[in-house]
Structure 1
Amino acid sequence: MISSLPRRLAAETLGTAFLVATVVGSGIMADTLARDAALALLANTLATGAMLVVLITTLGPISGAHFNPAISLIFALKGDLSRRDAGVYVLGQVVGGIAGTVIAHAMFALPLLQNSLRIRTGGAQWLSEGVASFGLAATILAGLRFERKAVPWLVGLYICAAYWFTASTSFANPAVAIARSLTDTFSGIRAIDLPGFILAELAGALCALIAMTWLLQAPADNAAIQTAEEQS
């Protein structure tokens, strides 16, 4: 049963808010308790991956648990989401992400909105975001094709890995990137660096859609060939 658009919008907004609150809040906590940058990043990684598993499992049946404009875009291009609904999803994701930053700051008694001064720019960072988004989109598309029930764990585990194998620590999400530009804490990014990140994230997701559309149809094509050979 498909939920009504208002319920799906609420799920996307709420889910993105909790995701960003987890990213920002765990970053603040980790940076406060651990003076070692690697340990702080590990704590941030585990909290984010765990929250993704929870959010996708609980809210996925309502909205699909995109929590990410890049993912909503590729589902719209696939025809699984109308353009109108995709636009509403993106709005909810951005608003939810900003709310998540505000909530995280409030929980740690920080100014509700900050101007991030953390520099994240350059070719290596953009390539990292493209790769991270490609892998995330590919994981979701393949997971839905072969093991739908495992998608929450696949996404959570992928993001945990991508935190560590990418130079950018895998934002892989335009709404999250926007929200993180409003915190000058462990997980922040300068607003001026957002365009490069967002373009790379969208490009990575689009490349994944193209690649996986071809790759995931290969078994069906093989089956058709085998059937034709048997009939001949």
Structure 2
Amino acid sequence: MNTSLGRRVAAEAIGTGLLVAVVVGSGIQASELSHDVGVQLLANSLATVFGLGVLILLLGPVSGAHFNPAVTLAAWFGGRRTPEGFPLRDVAAYVPAQIAGAIGGAILADAMFARPLANFSTHDRSASHLWLGEVVATAGLILLIFGLTRVGRAALAPAAVASYIGAAYWFTSSTSFANPAVTIGRAFTDTFAGIAPASVAPFIAAQLLGTALGLAVVTAVYAPNVASARRAIDVPSSEPEPASS
């Protein structure tokens, strides 16, 4: 990736912030327009699918569109023993930017709907079945991202990743946070999409476990590809090379 670290970090902060603004804002809007929880979740998931797909398409060529410390850590771990891998210096820059962006995105969403700013959530999500849901959601996300890059299909990432997250809203008990930064950001809004601060640490622990599990599956299924560890979601600006190359 030839873009300067400063520009990539800015893209990660802005992308993660806008992602959380989409998640929280659509949750607020849905809860104001309908009292049916199923309709609220449907609206929230659809907005997230479209918003995430656009953000990956827009910012993927700049930073790799991680928007997620789990993806960043997986990219570093996958290439840590090679000079072409994702460097630890970039991890140290990406992760704080993602967290700061996520918090800013939650505050922005609350501001747009005239809600109290940085009001901690009271939505308790402390339950073992929810933690299992986060393990499954995160493992699947890591498998998808690094599986796509290892077979030369990174150009499909905007549609594939957004579709997976939309599906995981419904097939996981936790509604698929699958992102430590987003989890932290959603603790700063006492709305439909919020999570109580006390529930954050177990969710993140489950997400990190899911990250390790996802990487293990990638290693077991796909042949090594150093470039995939460096790029993560790297949407090419031109036609992708054939998988056989």
Structure (1/2) with the larger helix percentage:
1
Conserved 8 A contact 2:183-2:200: yes
In structure 1, distance between residues paired with 2:97 and 2:177: 18
TM-score for the superposition, normalised by structure 1: 0.92
**Residue 129 in 1 paired to residue 134 in 2?**
yes
Q: Do structure 1's residue 48 and structure 2's residue 48 form an aligned pair?
A: yes
- Secondary structure of the corresponding residue to residue 203 of structure 2: helix
**In 1: Cα distance, 2:14 partner to 2:149 partner:** 22
Residues 27-55 of structure 1: CA deviation (Å, up to 9, x unaligned)? 00000001110011000001001111101
Aligned to 1:158: 164
Query: 1:144 aligns to what?
Result: 149
Q: Secondary structure at the match of 2:125?
A: coil
Greater displacement, 108-117 / 9-18:
108-117
Equivalence for 1:73: 73
Q: Indicate the residue corresponding to 2:20 in structure 1.
A: 20
Is there any run of 5+ residues in structure 1 with no aligned partner, and where? 219-232
> Bigger shift: 145-154 or 58-67?
145-154
- State the AA in 2 paired with 1:90: V
Residue in structure 1 matching 2:206, options 197, 200, 206: 200
Which residue of the other structure, out of 183, 208, 211, is the alignment partner of 1:177?
A: 183
| 1:186 maps to amino acid | F
Say which one has the larger Rg.
Answer: 1
Provide the C-alpha distance between the structure 1 equivalents of 2:91 and 2:219, rounded to a whole number of angstroms: 20
Specify the alignment match of 1:60 in structure 2: 60
| Cα RMSD for the two superposed structures | 1.0
**2:241 paired residue number:** none
By how many angstroms is 1:145 displaced?
Answer: 2.1
Q: Could you list the structure 1 runs, at least 4 aligned residues long, displaced by more than 2 angstroms after superposition.
A: none
Q: Which has the higher contact order (CA 8 A, sep 6+)?
A: 2
Q: Quote the sequence identity (%).
A: 49
Contact 1:143–1:154 (Cα < 8 Å) also in 2: no
